[in-house]
Amino acid sequence: MKKLSVVCLMVVASIFMVTHVYAAGAGIGAGSNEAFGQAQIQNVSSKTKGSPNTNTTTMAIYTVGYGRFITDALQLGVSHMGIIGNTDDGAGNKNTAAVYGIDGFAKYHFYTKGQTVVPYVGLQVGYLGLTANSGGGGSDSTGSSVSYGGMGGLKFFLSENFAITTELNYRRYEMKMSPGNSENTSDNISLLVGFAVYF
Over its length of 199 residues, how does the chain's per-residue pLDDT go in tens digits? Answer: 455 555 555 555 555 555 454 556 788 889 999 999 999 887 777 776 777 777 788 888 899 999 999 999 999 999 999 888 888 777 777 788 888 999 999 999 998 888 899 999 999 999 988 888 776 555 678 888 889 999 999 999 999 999 999 999 998 888 787 777 777 788 888 899 999 999 9
CATH number of the domain that residue 67 is part of: 2.40.160.20
pTM value is 0.73
HSE value, Cβ hemisphere, 13 Å, CA-based, for 25: 7
Listed in sequence order, the residues at least 6 apart from 3 whose beta carbon sits closer than 8 Å to its beta carbon are none
Contact 49, 58 (CB under 8 A): no
Range of the domain at 92: 2-46+54-198
As a whole number of angstroms, the longest Cα–Cα distance in the chain is 61
Number of domains composing the chain: 1
CA distance 30 to 121: 17
Name beta bridge partners: 182.
Answer: 177
pLDDT score, position 13:
57
Q: Which of 130, 132, 133, 134 is nearest to 144 (CA)?
A: 130
Residue 141's H or E segment, with its range, is strand 141-159
- Bridge partners of residue 74, in order along the sequence: 108
pLDDT of residue 19: 46
What pLDDT does 17 receive? Answer: 53
The residues facing 85 across adjacent strands are 59, 97
Helix (H, G, I), strand (E, B) or coil at 52: coil
Q: What is the pLDDT of residue 5?
A: 54
Q: How far apart are CA 130 and CA 144, in angstroms?
A: 6
